[in-house]
Structure 1
Amino acid sequence: MKIGIEKINVYAGSLVLDIEKLAIARGRDVNYFKEELMLDSKSQNVDFEDVITMAVNAAKPIISEQDKEDIEMVIFATESGLDFCKSNSTYVCKYLGLKSNVRNFEIKNACYAATCAVQMAISWIASGVAPGKKCLVVSSDINYDHAGRSGEEVPAIGSVAMLISDKPVVIEYELGKNGYYTFECTDYARPTSTWDIINPQESLYAYLECAVGSWQHYKKVVGQDLDLNSYFKRIIYHTPFGGLVKLAHGNILKESYPGIKKSQIKENFEEKVMKSFKIPRAVGNTYSSTVYTCLLSLLLDDDEVKPGDRIGIFSYGSGSCAEFYSAIVLPGAKEYVKSLKIDEHLAARRPLTVEEFDHLAQLRSSHAEKPTFQTEMNYPEGWYDKYYKGKGLLIFRGAEDFIRKYEIS
Structure 2
Amino acid sequence: MTIGIDKIGFATSQYVLQMKDLAQARNQEPEKFSQGLMLDALSITPVTDDIISLATDAAASILDQEDLATIDMVILATESSVDQSKAGAVYVHQLLGIQPFARAIEMKEACYAATAGLDYAKLHIEKHPKSRVLVIASDIAKYGINSSGEPTQGAGAVAMLVTAEPRILSFNDDNLAQTRDIYDFWRPNYSSTPFVDGMFSTKQYLDCLKTTWSEYQKRQETDLSSFDAFCFHLPFPKLALKGLNKIMDKSLEDSVKTRLQDNFDHSIQYSRLVGNIYTGSLYLGLLSLLENSTTLKAGDKIGFFSYGSGAVCEIFSANLVEGYEKMLHKDRLDDLNQRQVISVEQYEQLFYEDITLDDEGNTDFNSYQTGAFYLESIQGHKRIYKGKMK
Q: Quick check: 1:288 aligned with 2:279?
A: yes
Q: Which runs of 5+ in 1 are unaligned?
A: none
More deviation, 11-20/188-197: 188-197
Match of 1:395 in 2: 374
Q: CA deviation at 1:119?
A: 0.9
Shift of 1:209: 0.9
* One-letter amino acid of the structure 2 residue matched with residue 213 of structure 1: T
- Report what 2:72 is aligned to: 72
- Within the candidate set 333, 339, 348, 2:338 is matched to 348
Residue 49 (structure 1) aligns with? 49
Counterpart-to-counterpart distance in 1, 2:30 and 2:112? 30
CA contact (8 A) 1:58 1:161 kept: yes
Between the aligned partners of 2:3 and 2:165, the Cα distance in structure 1 is: 7
- What is the alpha-carbon distance in structure 1 between the residues aligned to residue 107 and residue 219 of structure 2? 26
Equivalent residue, structure 2, for 1:331: 322
1:166-177, aligned counterparts within 5 Å?
A: 166-174=164-172, 176-177=173-174
Identity of aligned residues (%): 32
Q: CA deviation at 1:46?
A: 2.4
Q: Which position in structure 2 is the counterpart of 1:405?
A: 384
| CA displacement, residues 214-262 of structure 1 (integer Å, 9 cap, x when unaligned) | 212322332x1x2312x00111101111211121112212xx447x89x
TM-aligned CA deviation for residue 315 of structure 1: 0.6
The aligned residue for residue 89 of structure 2 is: 89
Equivalence for 1:250: 245
Aligned length: 386
Report what 2:28 is aligned to.
Answer: 28
Q: CA RMSD in A?
A: 2.3
User: Deviation per CA, 1:358-407, whole angstroms, max 9, x where unpaired?
Assistant: 1011214667x993322221x5xxxx4xx66xxxx111012123211111
Separation (CA, whole Å) in 2 of partners of 1:114 and 1:332: 25
- One-letter amino acid of the counterpart of residue 315, structure 2: F
- Note if contact 2:227-2:303 (Cα within 8 Å) is conserved in structure 1: yes
Does the C-alpha gap of structure 1 residues 303 and 267 become closer, same or farther in structure 2, counting only changes over 3 Å?
A: closer
Match of 2:224 in 1: 228
1:270 alignment partner AA: Q
**Residue 212 of structure 1, aligned match among 201, 210, 213:** 210
Partners in 1 of 2:243 and 2:218 — Cα distance? 19
TM-score computed with the length of structure 1 as normaliser: 0.89
Q: 1:277: which partner in 2?
A: 268
Structure 2: distance between partners of 1:305 and 1:334: 9
Paired position in structure 2 for 1:148: 146
Q: Provide the residue aligned with 1:180 in structure 2.
A: 177
What code does the residue aligned with 2:154 have? A
The question of whether the paired residues in 2 share the 8 Å contact of 1:180 and 1:217 is answered with: no
C-alpha distance in 2, partners of 1:372/1:109?
A: 31
TM-score (ref. length: structure 2): 0.93
Q: Quote how far apart the aligned CAs of 1:272 are.
A: 4.6
User: How far, CA to CA, are the matches of 2:132 and 2:143 in structure 1?
Assistant: 37
Do the aligned residues in 2 keep the contact of 1:179 with 1:216 (CA within 8 Å)?
no
How many angstroms apart in 2 are the aligned matches of 1:200 and 1:217? 26
**1:179–1:219 CA contact under 8 A, matched in 2:** no
